[in-house]
Structure 1
Amino acid sequence: MQGRLGRWHLVPIALAALLLLGALAMLGLDRAMRVRALEETRTAATSQAAILAAGLESELNKFSLVPRVLAVDPEVAALLGGESAQRPLLNRRLAALAQQTSAAAIYLMDARGTTLAASNWDRPDSFIGSNYRFREYFNGARKDGAASEFALGTVSRRPGLYLAERVGPADQPLGVVAVKVEFDSLEAKWRDAEDGVFVTDAGGIVLLASNPEWRFRSAAGERPAQRDPARDAMRFGVAEPLPFELPATGPAASRVRMIEKIQPIAPVGWELHLLADPAPRLSVALANGRLAGVIALALLALAGAGALVWRRQRQARAAAEIAAQTATLREQLQQANRLATLGQITAGLGHEIRQPLAAMRVYAENGERLLDADRTDEAAENFHRIAGLAGRIGEITEEQLNFSRRSAEEPRIIALAEVIDGSLLLLRDQIRQKGLSITWPDPRSAAAARVRARHVQLEQVLVNLLQNAVQAAGQGGEIALAIAARENSLQLSVTDNGPGVLPELQDSLFQPFVTSKREGIGLGLAIARDIMRELGGDLTHEATATGARFTMTMPAA
């Protein structure tokens, strides 16, 4: 009896030990999940910072070419050489170039720093007549050939990067051409997409930032003794930049510092800083970790119920097998659906080939009789017709092979008329069976339409759109193809007079597995749009009064 009582006294001790072990395990799990969440945040931040830095470098490289090209322009040299008649023409050229490149301003200064021509020549804040000899980018370009400087505009007080290039040789410079680049749109994108982004120069001064309050603060710690307050006041509007501190996030009781990732910006010696907020990942990781800990403790508490655990495991295995079988069946159904689509086209091609084969046999038999009767001229005509029919069969089979081929060809100049002819050839039997009316593009526009793309991929997209239009238009329906030219692209549209796309599907029409067809799986349009965007174009949909219109946009050749 006393032995039993002694054993019962051990139960509270065992429970206390289990609780203590559980608490220690929870603390260790929390720590592990926290470390993992922080590491995931750092990894994602490193990748995102590299992407943002590459985008900014690309933008800067684009603008750096403008002053370099203008510096060797004959009209620029002529104006700096004293030919004032070039000024109106050059002003208009600079204005057009600034609009095309989205530059804030492009302007030309003589060797003394006086602006002779500018893209903003016709605006109240025109640079013409202003002297920028005091700017570092002017003096640096005169001395070294090229220079850059980030500063506030003297008139607009808007910050921007000035890229300058010397015109003429170093010993006898004619002047300097400069481009001002503003980054308002880029900062707005950062503000909408990232937790925090800012860019610093070589001295640690914040030049660009997703938060305007961070701009012109010093991220280099204490103010270096060699900084010039007067120069900083002229460039940044503040004589002594305030220190920049990394923001914290999360509840006040458990503030978490933002994770900072730095990427160099090659052309100008800047650094891009990405601030990533680890709080969301931390909260999710801790919640998942604690949930896993509770489940583990619960499983340990139920360790004695081996039979129940075994039963649950068996049920879990059975559910997993059912899920695997269901996934396999779903995949087989999808494959069968894809093969059915290919079979529809192939069946139509077989019908297209059987007719000329039958005609060839009749012509051949008649040709033999005509030769026996010594009617060689008529027999030759029969053989000529046989050759034409054989050529037609060759065209059909060649188009089928081209369409089914997985081509790794590079983009090339393609006539849209060839793509249209090939696509309609593949679907001719379906179109004829349904009695559809096909409206072709204007012959002149179709003959002149040239795009840069991959033939097989364009035909794949067009066949998909035409097949959808054939199904939507129904018996005796109408399908219209039209070609329209834009500034740097061509558009090929397919319009049908079917019932159109359901309103509830229009916003998600190009998402995978979205379809209104009972037999469809909803991948055709998603794949088609991916192909067009890979080719540098797009695929769009618009509802019409009597049906639907899908438009392929392609880069013009």
Structure 2
Amino acid sequence: MQGRLGRWYLIAIAMVAVVLLASLAMLGLDRAMRVRALEETRAAATSQAAILAAGLESELNKFTLVPRVLATDPEVAALLAGDRSQRDVLNRRLAALARQTDAAAIYLMDADGLTLAASNWDRPDSFIGSNYGFRDYFSGALRDGTFAEFALGTVSRRPGLYLAERVGPGTRALGVVAVKVEFDSLERKWRDAEDGVFVTDAGGIVLLASNPEWRFRSATTDNPDTASRDPARDAMRFGVAEPKPINLPGGGENASPLRMIEKIQPIAPVGWELHLLSDPAPRLSVAIANGRLAGVIVLALLALGGGGALVWRRQRQARAAAEIAAQTATLREQLQQANRLATLGQITAGLGHEIRQPLAAMRVYAENGERLLAADRSAEAGENFARIAGLAGRIGEITEEQLQFSRRSAEEPRDIALAAVIDGSLLLLRDQIRHKGIALSLPDPEATAAAIVRARHVQLEQVLVNLLQNAVQACEENGQVALTIETDGQTVRLSITDNGPGVPPALRDTLFQPFVTSKTEGIGLGLAIARDIMRQLGGDLLHEDTVGGARFTMVMPAA
């Protein structure tokens, strides 16, 4: 009897011990899954914030060109100088340009702020006749040449970014060209895709937000210091004299103990900051639930046998690896596309200059051809029209290269002539190179013609444009950049060498890691994406310092 009681006693103790160990194991598993889920949420939020910031920067860079180009337009200068004969033509041009660029409004003001021409000339709320001399963007553009201001419209009361450019020199300003950009579609995308996104200016005021209730609130502190702000100016710009603190998710008396994760990315062109809020609760719930389920299954499988547990674990790891691989591939493509668009936004001003020159020449040839035809000199007129056709072909080459560079790369690797990649990259960057007086040394023509690689054209061009742009930016005025090609039968090596200051020693070991950069306005993704592209193609991207500069080498499989 005592022996039987002793056995039951031992069994009870063993069962209690098993329950305690299982409970401790479950608590430990919950903690581990919680830590892992938080780390994954932070990593995903960091990457997504970088993508959203790059997309917004690209959008802003696109619109900054519009007032800059219009400020040099002869018809604009003529209207400001007093010639009203072409006002109707200019109004229609501005309306067409607004439709093409999705700008909310484009308008022209004289030196006193009176609007003379506008894209909304034919609408009841037309700006023509309105005086905007009191707006900061007008006075700032007259003073500095260019100015940007985010504010409510005086007529529409719709928020937007005003980009203004002075027409004429500062000592004899003729007027100001302004473009209003609204971000309704961008905010709707944020609202559908993210937990919370908002953009603040240098003073911490929310300008854009996925939640309309956050707009024009202060994101600096819970109790912002309003003593340093101008209530009258805030009332005119934002519609509120004293911006209230932003009420973010998870705040207030009923706040959840689980805080939202916030990631901040600078927006280079205008000094803004993008804030991405990510709620870790769904990921945590799934992770903890998965962890507990895994623990129960592991205990059950241990009772049935270690063999079954091992098979299940391997299958689970395989599924997780497949999901991670799919997510990584999608994120990689998004980052590459965002990088291409950001790069294209940076070089678009140069492309506009490359297009304006042949356009001006085409106009001269056309006018001369018209006079020659009137003088019955048709042979000479035909020569002028042939020149016009050649210049039009030149413009077509530039725009086609720009469109090809911006497309997503869905093609499969194929045999590509490296000469075509080099020509396309230089076509996009020619204005930057010429503007800084860079002495560009190209590879030997025979070596270039013989270099055929197995790759994707758009991706190779993306990497080469990135490296060439870095080299040009690293050089001083009248610097030197050299391209060389080496072939060993298995691989082709294209090297880009500059005589700039080289890579700082502190960054050499982490140069190709994301978010590592020596530029004050960079986000540190260009080189990381470039190396990732090259390794996807079966090659690599290498760096080595030279005497007085740096060299980056693209290693590609030969065709």
2:234 counterpart of 1:232: yes
Q: Equivalent residues in 2 for 1:235-254 (5 A)? A: 235-248=237-250
Q: CA deviation at 1:412?
A: 7.6
Q: CA deviation at 1:11?
A: 2.9
2:78 counterpart of 1:78: yes
2:31 counterpart of 1:31: yes
2:224 counterpart of 1:223: yes
Q: Measure the CA separation in 2 of the matches of 1:295 and 1:279.
A: 24
Name the TM-score, length of structure 1 as normaliser: 0.54
Q: Could you tell me which residue of structure 1 aligns to residue 171 of structure 2?
A: 171
Q: Could you tell me which residue of structure 1 aligns to residue 203 of structure 2?
A: 203
Q: CA deviation at 1:51?
A: 1.0
Q: Measure the CA separation in 2 of the matches of 1:83 and 1:309.
A: 93
Whether the aligned pair in 2 keeps the contact of 1:108 and 1:175 (CA below 8 Å) is yes
Q: Could you tell me which residue of structure 2 aligns to residue 400 of structure 1?
A: none
Q: Could you tell me which residue of structure 1 aligns to residue 154 of structure 2?
A: 154
Name the TM-score, length of structure 2 as normaliser: 0.54
* Residue type at the aligned position of 2:28: G
Q: 1:266 to 1:14 in 2, by over 3 A?
A: same
Counterpart selection for 1:272 from 270, 274, 295: 274
Q: Measure the CA separation in 2 of the matches of 1:169 and 1:248.
A: 52
2:311 counterpart of 1:309: no
Q: Measure the CA separation in 2 of the matches of 1:254 and 1:232.
A: 33
Q: Could you tell me which residue of structure 1 aligns to residue 295 of structure 2?
A: 293
* Residue type at the aligned position of 1:262: I
Whether the aligned pair in 1 keeps the contact of 2:414 and 2:456 (CA below 8 Å) is no
Q: Measure the CA separation in 2 of the matches of 1:293 and 1:235.
A: 57
2:72 counterpart of 1:91: no
* Residue type at the aligned position of 1:263: Q
Whether the aligned pair in 2 keeps the contact of 1:246 and 1:257 (CA below 8 Å) is no
Q: Measure the CA separation in 1 of the matches of 2:92 and 2:194.
A: 39
SS of 2:72's partner is coil
Structure 2 unmatched ranges of 5 or more: 319-411, 422-454, 458-559
Q: Measure the CA separation in 2 of the matches of 1:33 and 1:311.
A: 24
2:414 counterpart of 1:406: yes
Whether the aligned pair in 1 keeps the contact of 2:298 and 2:309 (CA below 8 Å) is no
SS of 2:86's partner is helix
Q: Equivalent residues in 2 for 1:312-323 (5 A)? A: 312=308, 316=311
Whether the aligned pair in 1 keeps the contact of 2:50 and 2:265 (CA below 8 Å) is yes
Q: Could you tell me which residue of structure 1 aligns to residue 121 of structure 2?
A: 121
What's the CA shift string for 1:128-182, capped at 9, x where partnerless? 1111111111111111111000000000101100000111111221111110001
Where relative contact order (Cα < 8 A, 6+ residues apart) is larger, the structure is 2
Q: Could you tell me which residue of structure 1 aligns to residue 180 of structure 2?
A: 180
Whether the aligned pair in 1 keeps the contact of 2:152 and 2:159 (CA below 8 Å) is yes
Q: Could you tell me which residue of structure 2 aligns to residue 193 of structure 1?
A: 193
Q: Could you tell me which residue of structure 1 aligns to residue 13 of structure 2?
A: 13
Q: 1:262 to 1:4 in 2, by over 3 A?
A: same
Q: Could you tell me which residue of structure 2 aligns to residue 258 of structure 1?
A: 260
Q: Equivalent residues in 2 for 1:54-73 (5 A)? A: 54-73=54-73
Q: CA deviation at 1:62?
A: 0.4
Q: Measure the CA separation in 2 of the matches of 1:243 and 1:269.
A: 21
- For the pair shown, which has the larger CA radius of gyration, 1 or 2? 1
Q: 1:154 to 1:15 in 2, by over 3 A?
A: same
Matched residue pairs, number?
325
Q: 1:311 to 1:181 in 2, by over 3 A?
A: closer
Q: Equivalent residues in 2 for 1:489-500 (5 A)? A: none
SS of 1:243's partner is coil
SS of 1:84's partner is coil
SS of 1:113's partner is coil
Whether the aligned pair in 2 keeps the contact of 1:92 and 1:119 (CA below 8 Å) is yes
Q: Equivalent residues in 2 for 1:332-371 (5 A)? A: none
RMSD of aligned residue pairs (Cα, Å): 3.1
SS of 1:112's partner is coil
Q: Measure the CA separation in 2 of the matches of 1:311 and 1:142.
A: 78
Q: Could you tell me which residue of structure 2 aligns to residue 282 of structure 1?
A: 284
Q: Measure the CA separation in 1 of the matches of 2:122 and 2:209.
A: 31
Q: Measure the CA separation in 2 of the matches of 1:411 and 1:51.
A: 31
Q: CA deviation at 1:275?
A: 1.5
* Residue type at the aligned position of 2:12: P
Whether the aligned pair in 2 keeps the contact of 1:70 and 1:177 (CA below 8 Å) is yes
What's the CA shift string for 1:477-533, capped at 9, x where partnerless? xxxxxxxxxxxxxxxxxxxxxxxxxxxxxxxxxxxxxxxxxxxxxxxxxxxxxxxxx
Whether the aligned pair in 2 keeps the contact of 1:263 and 1:272 (CA below 8 Å) is yes
